[in-house]
């Protein structure tokens, strides 16, 4: 089960206290702890996508945002350009 999942086919926003349906997957890693292959994923509703992305970027974590259900193999690294937050 993925963080934010509340049942089969339903993704809930990972922002504390939010129970809205997630539309975005926020993929990230802590480069001080994880190698390029380690990807963590939070889910976000439209309202909290920017908040979660900025929370991670403020800590210098590489971030890639995709629609919910899409995965990425890597986040960050020399050959993977960073994706701008929407």
Instruction: Tell me the domain boundaries of the chain.
Output: 5-67
pTM exceeds 0.85: no
Tens digits of residue pLDDT in 43-62: 999 999 999 999 999 999 99
pLDDT for residue 9: 60
**Rounded CA gap, 21 and 19, in Å?**
7
pLDDT-flagged residues of the chain (< 50): 1, 4-6, 79-86
pLDDT for residue 62: 96
What SS3 class is residue 31? coil
pLDDT for residue 48: 98
Give the residue among 51, 41, 34 at the shortest CA–CA distance from 85. 51
pLDDT for residue 55: 97
pLDDT for residue 5: 46
Q: Token digits for 55?
A: 């929370």
């Amino acid at each position: 089960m993925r963080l934010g999942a509340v049942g089969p086919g339903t993704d809930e926003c990972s922002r504390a206290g939010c129970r809205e349906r997630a539309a975005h997957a926020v993929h990230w890693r802590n480069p001080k702890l994880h190698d390029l292959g380690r990807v963590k994923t939070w889910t976000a509703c439209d309202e909290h996508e920017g908040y979660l992305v900025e929370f991670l970027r403020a800590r210098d974590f590489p971030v890639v945002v995709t629609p919910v259900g899409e995965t990425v193999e890597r986040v960050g690294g020399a050959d993977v350009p960073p994706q701008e937050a929407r």
